[in-house]
Structure 1
Amino acid sequence: MTGALDLDRYAGHLIRRAEQVHTSLWSKFVSEAVSSQQFAVLNALRQSPGIDQSTVARLTSLDRSTAHHIVRRLTAQRCVNRTGDLADRRRTLLALTAEGRKLHASLAPAAEKINDELLAVFPDELRSEVLRVLARISQR
């Protein structure tokens, strides 16, 4: 029989705990109403207006179903505008409305602040390496 594992030595456990810290900071300092995933969609559309929902899902690392629900919610809140693609009638193109741009602008500074807060536990010279390692793990 195997004894109990030391979960503090397991990447998945630590990533889950880090996500809990991120979620707590997000709720406290950014928004209780807009999730970080919703912000990711707003941010993708701010960066690349006129993209389709599949591209939003890819850029935000969300599955297509989750991206669809978020886009529907943001559309209902009048933050996202949907228009048919004249070149391909099967596609719907997405862009932020004025309200969506205003919401993104109101959240972005706080999102940057909690990113800085999360990275503050590392010395300055290690922060880019931490981000590189996290990016590598997330690309699996």
Structure 2
Amino acid sequence: MSTKSEDARPLPRFTGSLVRRAQQRHAAVWLSEVSTEITSVQYAALEALQETPGVSQRQLGDELDVDRSTIADLVARMVRNGLIERADDPVDKRSYVLFLTTAGKKQLATLRPRVEQVERILTARLTPAELAQLRRLLSALLPPQA
């Protein structure tokens, strides 16, 4: 609980400082509430593959907004851990398409309520209108999606 003097502190001068601190808080809450083994990016990949099974590695990387080497490492790790599987792309034999495994679907179902709890913890002090405004403003910081 913050004291009155803490609430009276001036806001940091740079937005990046607040974004970094918010991300650090998210990471700490994630580790305590969700998983020390599945990262938030891996969870996002599970959600994306649940929503759109059979996407290419490139499409998944675009969806998660990560570069080619990062998505390659992420997919390789998730395949090794039995969460997703690769199959030959029926359209482009040089590419793979990705699907959740049964274990990946089970992991997603287990983690989803925990991720929702992270959301509740992080936004507990915000009204619904403030939460909507925060999401709009954070989205405005990101480059437009192609």
Please give the alpha-carbon distance, in whole angstroms, between the structure 1 residues aligned to 2:76 and 2:11. Answer: 38
Corresponding pairs, count: 135
Find out whether 1:95 has 2:99 as its counterpart: yes
Q: Structure 2-normalised TM-score?
A: 0.87
- Aligned-residue CA RMSD (Å): 1.4
Please give the alpha-carbon distance, in whole angstroms, between the structure 2 residues aligned to 1:110 and 1:135. Answer: 23
Q: Which of 127, 133, 136 is the matching residue for 1:132?
A: 136
Please give the alpha-carbon distance, in whole angstroms, between the structure 2 residues aligned to 1:69 and 1:100. Answer: 17
Which digits, 9 at most, give the CA deviation of each residue in 1:103-126, with x for residues without a partner? Answer: 111111111111122122222221
Instruction: Give the CA deviation at 1:20.
Output: 0.2
Please give the alpha-carbon distance, in whole angstroms, between the structure 2 residues aligned to 1:116 and 1:135. Answer: 19
- Structure 1 contact 7–13 (Cα < 8 Å) conserved: no
Q: Which of 69, 90, 110 is the matching residue for 2:73?
A: 69
Runs of 4 or more consecutive aligned structure 1 residues displaced over 6 Å after TM superposition: none
Find out whether 1:39 has 2:27 as its counterpart: no
After superposing the two structures, state which structure 1 stretch, 60-69 or 73-82, moved more.
Answer: 60-69
Q: Which residue of 2 aligns with 1:108?
A: 112
Please give the alpha-carbon distance, in whole angstroms, between the structure 1 residues aligned to 2:71 and 2:21. Answer: 24
Q: Which of 81, 86, 90 is the matching residue for 2:85?
A: 81
| 3-state DSSP of counterpart to 1:83 | strand
Which digits, 9 at most, give the CA deviation of each residue in 1:74-127, with x for residues without a partner? Answer: 101111110001221111000000000001111111111111221222222211
Please give the alpha-carbon distance, in whole angstroms, between the structure 1 residues aligned to 2:120 and 2:138. Answer: 15
Flag the structure with higher helix content.
1
Please give the alpha-carbon distance, in whole angstroms, between the structure 2 residues aligned to 1:69 and 1:18. Answer: 26
Q: Structure 1-normalised TM-score?
A: 0.91
Q: Which residue of 2 aligns with 1:3?
A: none
**What's the % identity of the aligned pairs?**
33
| 3-state DSSP of counterpart to 2:99 | strand
Please give the alpha-carbon distance, in whole angstroms, between the structure 2 residues aligned to 1:7 and 1:84. Answer: 51
